[in-house]
Structure 1
């Protein structure tokens, strides 16, 4: 559903650029003005991102996270300027099904070390196409994976728990081991809702979240969809979610967060109390997914889970 919507938006954008170029040339007969129209159409998202960075800097002033330098903010903004169209205008609308889930070869012989799989969970207004670079890297390293689509796109977060449950079941059945779950943004909240609904702590090796608004995000005050409203800091849904969680659950989480996250801020709201926090410097919200230090954290989690599975005698079915 989301892919079709984003394809339509990309096509509308291209038509608007073409119309603007035609209008500029016909009415003004000026190549420079025509190029200006095209430049504005191509770079408008950079201006919008600059606004979100300004809001982020304002709201982060009293936050406990380390303060980024101006150079770090600029690098983060530019990284997001490049990442956003790649994800929202290419990977998700046109390439969301380009790479299939890979559970082939997940089973190992009795003499092999257990293989721990990965469940990839995207965030708000995203789909599995977000994870295309990850899927290539995981396949290259022989790690079984499954990437979900959370639908309905604008439903309540609790609606996504059945999708995650099915994914975890499939990966576990294929490998014989509890998987590592990697979740971006709202996807981390969906994973916590899944843990609450199914009391599934023992069925997951660890959870790595990337820019997840564990304690809400200031931008959610402006959200109008049900899942956006659930991400308000101090809101009813988040308050009840935290109250329902045992203290031990947070120890399964690794929270990758950034002091330059332009969507989830103040910065420390992306850290679940009691979890291990990993600061990713000079990275904005979408670009953080592509950072090597985040991927390396997942590899560490996979190796740790494999060691535990081997020591407890886990073997693939």
Structure 2
């Protein structure tokens, strides 16, 4: 569904660019056709930039006041915004509509001699497997076989995704001859991975790596739609703010052993997860990488390198006898 939706939105933006170009010629008396198209494209991009800027403003409103955030100068903040804006354009105009995939197996990583576990990539809210296009290239260069899912329904319950994740895990294990996988989830995908562990257990999972995941909710989700958006909301019922009922129940259902198998990688400069301390998961391995935006997070080389290192560490911790399917 996201593939179809993003293609429709992309087409709508191209049509709007054309309409604005015609307006520039007819109303503003722009004589050069290329300049008219450039003006039309510029207006569309400015509208897109305004949406990204609004996310930053909302995140700033609910930012942490109790935990210190590394300060950014105007140049660094501008660079953060530009990279995040580029990531949104890249994702919605290229990777989401045209780069979705199910599995990408690397030579040697599917043999019994492989020492690295396969990885299942779980996208976030309003995305699909195409979001992982950049991460997929990094995993391929590292020789790590991986798969991805397209969570449906798009606005459904996070709990309902467990069956899809089970099917994807079973298929990836079968393709790679492995008994376990590493789950990597971006944003809502991290919550989907935790909900899977609650529903299905950890027999097929060696480790869960969450990227910019709102473990205790985010205020930005209050402006979203769908059951899954409601499950990610940061509430303010008591005047203080905190996780909603679904997230609190998810926390109560987890054991200390489950928390110990999770790595939460996040940024204190997140423009979607606010407050950013929501990404900090007690009992898990928490890794902070500053000066990266939310959509740009899984596209960033430093994050990709950190994920690959966590995958290798998780693979080393699993004995060979427990790694391969019979």
| The two structures share one fold, judged by TM-score above 0.5 | yes
Describe the shift of the 1:20–1:235 C-alpha distance in structure 2 as closer, same or farther (beyond 3 A). Answer: same
CA distance in 1, matches of 2:219, 2:210: 18
Structure 1 residue runs of 5 or longer lacking an equivalent are: none
Please say if 1:23 is aligned against 2:23: yes
Are residues 1:295 and 2:304 paired?
yes
**Which residue number in structure 2 is paired with residue 249 of structure 1?**
258
1:89 aligns to 2:90 (yes or no):
no
Q: 1:73: how far off?
A: 2.4
Paired residues for 1:94-173 under 5 Å: 94-97=98-101, 100-102=103-105, 105-109=108-112, 112-173=113-174
Q: Is the 8 A contact 2:107 2:143 kept in 1?
A: no
Distance 1:314 1:187, change over 3 A: closer
Give, in whole Å, the separation in 1 of the partners of 2:320 and 2:5: 47
Partner Cα separation in structure 2 for residue 77 and residue 49 of structure 1: 8
Contact residue 262 and residue 284 of structure 2 kept, 8 A? yes
Aligned to 2:232, what secondary structure does the other structure show?
A: coil
> 1:253–1:27: structure 2 CA closer, same or farther, 3 Å change rule?
same
Deviation, 1:31, is 5.5
Structure 2 CA distance, aligned partners of 1:294 and 1:59?
Answer: 24
The aligned counterpart of 2:195 is 193
CA, structure 1 residues 103+159, in 2 after alignment: closer, same or farther (shift >3 Å)? Answer: farther
How many residue pairs get aligned? The number is: 313
Is 1:236 aligned to residue 224 of structure 2?
no
Alpha-carbon contact 1:258-1:284 (below 8 Å) kept: yes
Closer, same or farther in 2 for the Cα pair 1:223/1:313, shift >3 Å? Answer: closer
Tell me the distance in 1 between the aligned counterparts of 2:309 and 2:203: 19
Q: CA deviation at 1:236?
A: 1.9
After superposition, the C-alpha distances for 1:104-136 in whole angstroms (9 at most, x for unaligned) are 654434xx3533110000000101111112222
Q: Say whether the 8 Å CA contact 1:183–1:209 is kept in structure 2.
A: yes
In structure 2, what is the Cα distance between the partners aligned to 1:288 and 1:80? 9
**Measured at CA, do residues 65 and 314 of structure 1 come closer, stay the same or move farther in structure 2, by a change above 3 Å?**
same
Indicate the residue corresponding to 2:228 in structure 1.
227
Shift of 1:61: 4.4
Q: Comparing 66-75 with 180-189, which one deviates more in the overlay?
A: 66-75
Describe how 1:49-68 pairs up with structure 2 within 5 A: 49-68=52-71
Q: Distance in 2 between matches of 1:285 and 1:302?
A: 21
Residue 184 of structure 1: aligned partner = 186
Under a length normalisation based on structure 1, what TM-score does the superposition of the two structures give? 0.91
Structure-2 separation of matches of 1:63 and 1:225:
31
Q: Does structure 2 retain, via aligned residues, the 8 Å contact 1:177–1:309?
A: no
Q: Partner residue of 1:4?
A: 4
Cα distance in 2 for partners of 1:121, 1:73 equals 29
For residues 20 and 214 of structure 2, the distance between their equivalents in structure 1, rounded to whole angstroms, comes to 38
Q: Distance in 2 between matches of 1:57 and 1:209?
A: 22
- Give the 3-state SS of the residue equivalent to 1:146 in structure 2: strand
3-state SS of the aligned residue for 1:207?
A: strand
Q: State the shift of 1:59 in Å.
A: 1.8
> Per the alignment, in what secondary structure is the counterpart of residue 80 of structure 1?
helix
After TM superposition, the score normalised by the length of structure 2 is 0.89
Contact kept? 2:210, 2:265, Cα under 8 Å: yes
My pick for the range that moved more, 201-210 or 28-37, is 28-37
C-alpha spacing 1:172/1:26, structure 2 compared with 1 (3 Å): same
Q: Given that residues 107 and 316 in structure 1 are in contact (C-alpha distance below 8 angstroms), is that contact kept between their aligned partners in structure 2?
A: no
1:44 maps onto 2:53 in alignment: no
Q: Give SS of 2:318's match.
A: helix
Q: Is the 8 A contact 2:70 2:290 kept in 1?
A: no
- Alpha carbon RMSD of aligned pairs, Å? 2.2
